[in-house]
A and B are shown apart, each in its own frame.
Chain A
């Protein structure tokens, strides 16, 4: 499996609190992505990055921000968590932008 690690693996947080999820890769891939997975919706793209400090919005970016200060780390922040953001979050990496994406183990986030 590709060297990609997400942390934490599980988190429970309260509505209105900020939350940061971390994705760390050891493959030196240029492209990194954050997806969320919900029953009945499959996987939906939140944000992506095509290099250090280069990020852009995906399909469901409202309420989320990202940062990438190093090639190996891509952070996803929920500025003020809401119950609708309860989901499983997957990070993915790709060497050549959109092709052959490899996923991390996922983070299960519950907002109460």
Chain B
């Protein structure tokens, strides 16, 4: 099955700096890669996603890049703000061939924005 590795497990950056979180996946058939943000005690919320037919996607201060050849994808947050502090999860779509695919998640990155 699919395996997703996520690094780093903890990332501390100064407010206003950029943050980068990286993930690798094992199944070359995976074709959908979402990122979720989870605040303490809350549900995971989708913040951005990318499909395998594009290499980069941006939404304001957030961007995701995908390298299919190397099987890795990254989340980039620019001009970080205190409200960006949370746990971020990457995920990859499990390709089962049956059309009822779920997601395999990385173990999460705790992003800390230092004032």
In-complex Cβ contact of B107 among A41, A50, A54 (8 A): A41
Interface string of B15-41 (1 = CB under 8 A from A): 000000000000000001010100000
> Which residue of chain B has the shortest Cβ distance to A47 in the bound complex?
B102
Range of interface residues on B (Cβ < 8 Å): 20 to 34
* 1/0 contact string of A40-79 vs chain B (CB within 8 Å): 1111110011100010101100000000000000000000
Question: Do most interface residues of chain A lie in helix, strand or loop, or is the interface mixed?
Answer: strand
Give Cα distance in the complex from A43 to B94, angstroms: 14
Count of interface residues, chain A, beta-carbon cutoff 8 Å: 27
Q: Would B102 and A48 count as touching, CB distance under 8 A?
A: yes
Residues of B within 8 A of A106 (CB): 43
Tell whether, in the assembled complex, residue A43 and residue B89 are in contact, meaning their CB atoms are under 8 Å apart: yes
A49 CB to nearest chain B CB (Å): 8
Q: List the A side residues contacting B100 at CB < 8 Å.
A: 31, 48-50, 54, 56, 97-98
Which of B6, B43, B104 is in CB contact (< 8 Å) with A90?
Answer: B43
Per the bound structure, the CA–CA distance linking A77 and B8 in Å amounts to 35
Alpha-carbon separation in the docked complex, A56 to B102 (Å): 10
Residues of B within 8 A of A42 (CB): 6, 89, 105-108
Q: Is B1 an interface residue (CB 8 A)?
A: yes
The complex places the Cα of A58 from the Cα of B89 at a distance, in Å, of 19
Q: List 6 A-B contacts (CB under 8 A).
A: A33-B103, A50-B98, A97-B100, A101-B46, A103-B44, A104-B43
Q: Given contact pairs A48-B100, A98-B101, A99-B93, enumerate 19 new A-B contacts (beta carbons under 8 Å).
A: A33-B103, A42-B89, A42-B108, A43-B44, A43-B89, A43-B105, A45-B94, A48-B102, A50-B99, A56-B98, A56-B100, A58-B102, A98-B100, A99-B32, A99-B34, A100-B46, A100-B49, A103-B44, A106-B43
